[in-house]
Amino acid sequence: RIVDDIRIDVGKKGRSEDIFSSEYITEKVIEVRRRVKNIWVKEIKKNVKDIRVMSSKQSLKERLINHYEYLLIPVGLVIFVLIWGGISRVAKLPEYILPLPKTVFIRFISGIKEGIIIPNLLVTTIESLSGFAIGATLGFLMGYILAKSRIVERLLSPYIVALQAIPTVALAPLIIIWFGFGLNTKILIAAIVLFFPVLINSIVGIRSADSEIMELLTALDAGPFQTFFKLELPSALPIIFGGLKMGITFSVIGAVVGEFLGASAGLGSLINMARASFDTSLVFVSIILLGVLGITFYLIVSLIEFLILGKTVTKKI
């Protein structure tokens, strides 16, 4: 349609020498860009409207199924506790081997009263979230650089992969020697553990941008910031959030590894203390709290993903 309009204008021009003048060509290029941009914007608005209409037509049956899915979580938890208690009773295992769920719950309450649960939980939470913030930021920035530059990727990829291949337990003692036993050491270990998943997902996400739209933005003289915020970041966000959901749980693992090797506070330190005194119930309490902490972090990231990307994209991820 745009080409036909230009041909008509050319026919109206009259003289062939005016058609090839720089002023006339510049005028037509600007007109083509403007019309292409308008058509592109209309198509995007149309696609967004179609997606909203499809989402609003979700059947009652599908909504009921979605609500029933949430009930599976507490049901599964009840079944797990029943199996746990059944094994402990049937096998007649001593409390220091496998305590009953009731015993673990009582130890949890007594631990709160003793003041050993909440402070250690807060320490691990701070270490995990701080490590997540640092590792996720560095992972995304490095992922963007590697995604945009093949040379940098070939230069740094072998070393990044080698760092990821080294077990955290083997790397942590060296970090403790360099930085001591303080809070910053656990934060650094947590950041290292989650760095790689965020890095890989960022590279894949940035490179998933539509090449045709990229060419169109280039033709419209879009700058690097416009291309990033209008195309690359929106295209990469669903994949990046997948890495963030993995990374937030890895940050808990990294923090606990650091606490195991040397710390006076945190759930990892509490497990070491309970293990030394054969307080198996307290070990179970600490492990359960770590699981709850990881699930809570995961749900928070999923909620942020839902608020930013919407229900349709979140369900696909």
Between 26 and 118, the more confident residue is 118
* 174 within a domain of the structure (yes/no): yes
pLDDT at 51 over 60: no
pLDDT at 314: 44
pLDDT at 68: 65
Domain span at residue 291 reads: 104-316
Distance CA 237, CA 309 (A): 8
Asked if residue 268 and residue 143 are part of one domain, the reply reads: yes
Asked if residue 265 and residue 167 are part of one domain, the reply reads: yes
Asked if residue 45 and residue 18 are part of one domain, the reply reads: yes
* 99 within a domain of the structure (yes/no): no
Residues 243 and 198: beta-carbon distance below 8 Å: yes
Asked if residue 284 and residue 253 are part of one domain, the reply reads: yes
pLDDT at 32 over 70: no
Distance CA 109, CA 102 (A): 11
Helices 280-309 & 101-114 angle (0-180, nearest 10): 80
Asked if residue 108 and residue 69 are part of one domain, the reply reads: no
Number of domains in the chain: 3
Asked if residue 63 and residue 42 are part of one domain, the reply reads: no
Distance CA 89, CA 95 (A): 10
* 256 within a domain of the structure (yes/no): yes
* 195 within a domain of the structure (yes/no): yes
pLDDT at 1 over 60: no
Distance CA 289, CA 117 (A): 9
Residues 285 and 99: beta-carbon distance below 8 Å: no
pLDDT at 302 over 50: yes
At residue 291, what is the residue type? G
Asked if residue 288 and residue 156 are part of one domain, the reply reads: yes
pLDDT in tens, 54-100: 444 445 556 555 666 667 777 777 888 888 888 878 877 787 888 88
pLDDT at 170 over 50: yes
Asked if residue 135 and residue 36 are part of one domain, the reply reads: no
* 209 within a domain of the structure (yes/no): yes
What one-character DSSP code corresponds to residue 234? Answer: H
Classified as helix, coil or strand, 20 is coil
* 98 within a domain of the structure (yes/no): no
Asked if residue 66 and residue 49 are part of one domain, the reply reads: no
Asked if residue 235 and residue 162 are part of one domain, the reply reads: yes
- What CATH number has the domain bearing residue 150? 1.10.3720.10
Distance CA 172, CA 123 (A): 18
Of 93, 116, 149, the residue at which a domain comes to its end is 93
Q: Which of 60-74, 92-106, 107-121, 154-168 has the lowest mean pLDDT?
A: 60-74
Asked if residue 63 and residue 46 are part of one domain, the reply reads: no
Asked if residue 175 and residue 38 are part of one domain, the reply reads: no
pLDDT in tens, 173-187: 888 888 877 888 888
pLDDT in tens, 238-255: 888 988 998 899 999 888
Measured CA to CA in angstroms, residue 263 lies from 122, 144, 257 at distances of 14, 35, 10
